[in-house]
Amino acid sequence: MITADNLGLEVAGRRLLQKITLELHAGEIVTVIGPNGAGKTTLLRLLLGLTRPTSGTVRRRPGLRLGYMPQRLQIDPSMPMSVARFLQLGQKREKGESRVREAETMAALERVGVAPLADASLAELSGGEMQRVLLARATSRRPHLLVLDEPTQGVDVGGQGEVYRLIATLRDELGCGVLLVSHDLHLVMAATDQVLCINQHICCHGAPEQVSRDPAYLELFGDKVAPYTHQHNHEHDLSGGILPGDACDHGHSHKREGR
């Protein structure tokens, strides 16, 4: 769907990204990880065509429909506006199309499980509800590629896995590709097809199990993640220790993940 060739961006003499070459394929979930300031959001913007590269090229398949969920909301969430109205902002108003638009809005809200919030005010939403509404907005035009910048921001730890499961369901239902930025390493490694680890350039990429063993990945995140392939056949106490009677038959650390 998108091909980037030797992409780079330099702003005021500062190299923000360099030598990015990648391909995004239909139906795949690709996760971009990297430390703060690594250029993850900048990369999404280049791929979407919102920022122009200073070197290299980006090619998007002609007619490619994109759904983008940015990291920050451009409008003030305390504005007196209903969820349904928010989903329709910026859409072309053509005569006789309002019913179609309303049906699409409701379908998008239903897909992410927040249809009852259609008439609620944006200001009333919890962090988790807001993320779902933003997901509904990004998917309302049935995109070929869904681009999500930190989709679990403001969602409590318990709800984050649910958001990633929802993203996988949306990919299956819409048959779209997904490109997402995430800091939730442990959760996301289990819910993605490909991982792209960047720090101004591509440090490593590939299937999650491949990337999680890569020296470049371990150098960046080695002390922050627990192995994601962890099979739970035992119970932990509150500090992460294994409760008596629950023998652990697979060598792994019980360190908690951190940001």
**Which spans of this chain sit near ligand ATP (rule: CB under 6 A)?**
11, 16, 34, 36-42
Q: Identify which of residues 52 and 95 has a Cβ nearer to ligand ATP in the complex.
A: 52
CA distance 25 to 59: 13
Least distance between ligand ATP and beta carbon 32 (Å):
8
Q: Identify which of residues 121 and 199 has a Cβ nearer to ligand ATP in the complex.
A: 199
Least distance between ligand ATP and beta carbon 40 (Å):
4
What are the DSSP calls for the chain, one per residue?
Answer: -EEEEEEEEEETTEEEEEEEEEEE-TT-EEEEE-STTSSHHHHHHHHHTSS--SEEEEEE-TT--EEEE-SS-SS-TTSS-BHHHHHHTT----TT-HHHHHHHHHHHHHHTT-GGGTTSBGGG--HHHHHHHHHHHHHTT--SEEEEESTTTT--HHHHHHHHHHHHHHHHHHT-EEEEE-S-HHHHHTT-SEEEEESSSEEEEESHHHHTT-HHHHHHHTTT---TT----S-B-TTSPBPTT----S----PPP--
Least distance between ligand ATP and beta carbon 189 (Å):
17
Least distance between ligand ATP and beta carbon 160 (Å):
16
Calculate ∠ Cα 65-84-149, nearest 5°.
45
Least distance between ligand ATP and beta carbon 47 (Å):
12
Q: Identify which of residues 15 and 101 has a Cβ nearer to ligand ATP in the complex.
A: 15
Q: Identify which of residues 10 and 246 has a Cβ nearer to ligand ATP in the complex.
A: 10
Q: Identify which of residues 117 and 195 has a Cβ nearer to ligand ATP in the complex.
A: 195
Least distance between ligand ATP and beta carbon 37 (Å):
4
Q: Identify which of residues 163 and 220 has a Cβ nearer to ligand ATP in the complex.
A: 220
